[in-house]
A and B are shown apart, each in its own frame.
Chain A
Amino acid sequence: AVRCTKSAIVPMFRVGRLSSQARRLLNPRIQYYSAQVSGWRYTKSHEWIKVEDEVATVGITDYAQQALGEVVYVETPVVGETFKTDDPIGAVESVKASSDIKLPASGTITEANSLLADSPDLVNKSPTDQGWICKMKLENPSELDSLLDEKGYNEFIKGTEKE
């Protein structure tokens, strides 16, 4: 059995030395996702979404947390539930106001940030890192193309400031 395992491992390493074209042939999904948007995208309601590998992480922006004030509670979505783009999937409470969080893209929730239960102010202190709200599997990654990139979001914020 050990021998079988050894001989099974060797071909896998050989796969790593294959050309990128050969790798794509063996696993077409790699090509699909590497052609997708990676990095950050933003909504006009101040949510961010970041895709790494096949997992999308969602949170609210630094601009949003400043405007809301001290966050005292975050209602996170239930793991396993599926939503469409713009569905309200939770809420952030500050100054006795609960504000809906909208999902930037369609998909299924795979994880909710359990740290927020005891430390909701992570959303204030670290809105784009430890204050993430949920992770999801995207139904249709191309939906992210219609969201704002970082430059577009910064311009959008400047536009609202002028009012």
Chain B
Amino acid sequence: MLQNVIKILRLGPTPYTKALKLQEHLVNKAKTKIANGEPGDNVLILLQHHPVYTTGIRTKEYTLEEENYLKSLGADFVRTNRGGLITFHGPGQLVAYPILDLNQFIPQANRRKAALGVRWYVNALEEVIIKACKEFGLKGSRSPHTGVWIGENKVCAMGVHNSQLVTSHGLALNCCVDLDWFTKIVPCGIVGKGVTSLTKELHRHVEIEEAEPFLLQHFAKEFSSRMIDSSVTELNLPAELCLDD
């Protein structure tokens, strides 16, 4: 059985809006291919963001007042079309945006209700992180709220967008991010639950570079794919989309 191929695009610290444009570009490219009867290119973008608070399509719940307050703390504020509520991205957090053509992955689900891909997809992303946490000796778990938890605290936030079975946005795994940023919001709108990081749970500093190989290893397994290192040039991306800042 031929495996699917997922190309890995590693970027350095990237402004959030630039990453949005990059994702939009890749999603449109995939949709064009699919419309021509070809499989879309699967790309896993791995990066970090400068401090930014982001909201999903339920953005009206966050007022201009709250937006200005969060900006006054020194972070950006961006409203997006992903699912999920408010969250924070910043240095020390491994952010992954899988731009996948779910048509290629759906047959793996093999069940009627998973045929649309979304629930299966989100579940698969959670499984990747749960297994990556296990490599650190940590017990990650699911809850009615999408994401991965260690006890009552969220170690990885998730929020995705699905447009005609091409995915964008993704997940953010807290490695050594400053958790104080999360105290300024109700993360993901869930009152009474906290946020944690690999560093906090293991009582030692955990860099993104330490978590990345585990994420990739389990991504390959969960999505039955071959992961291939790629680059801006190899993907024929316009340079202005990916300049490291």
Contacts and interface: CB of A to CB of B under 8 A. Distances in A.
A is bound by B: yes
Interface of A: 45-46, 64, 66-69, 72-73, 75, 88, 91, 93-100, 102, 157, 160-161, 163
Range, interface on chain B? 20 to 34
Interface string B105-131: 011001011111111011000000000
A98 B115 contact: no
Given A96-B160, A161-B112, A73 B118 contact: no
Contacts of B122: 95-97
A157 B163 CA distance: 19
A88 B163 contact: yes
Contacts of B58: 72-73, 93
B162 to A, nearest CB: 4
Contacts of B107: 163
B116 A91 contact: no
B228 interface: no
B147 interface: yes
A12 B146 CA distance: 61
A93 B118 contact: no
Nearest to B119: A69
B81 A98 contact: yes
Contacts of B160: 96-98
A115 B153 CA distance: 34
A95 B162 contact: no
B89 interface: no
A67 B82 contact: no
Which of B56, B81, B112 has the most chain A CB atoms inside 10 A of its CB?
B112
B146 A73 contact: no
B164 A100 contact: yes
B119 A93 contact: no
Contacts of A46: 116
B162 A97 contact: yes
B40 interface: no
A163 B106 contact: yes
A98 B114 contact: no
A96 B82 CA distance: 8
A96 B163 contact: no
Which of B82, B118, B146, B147 has the most chain A CB atoms inside 10 A of its CB?
B118
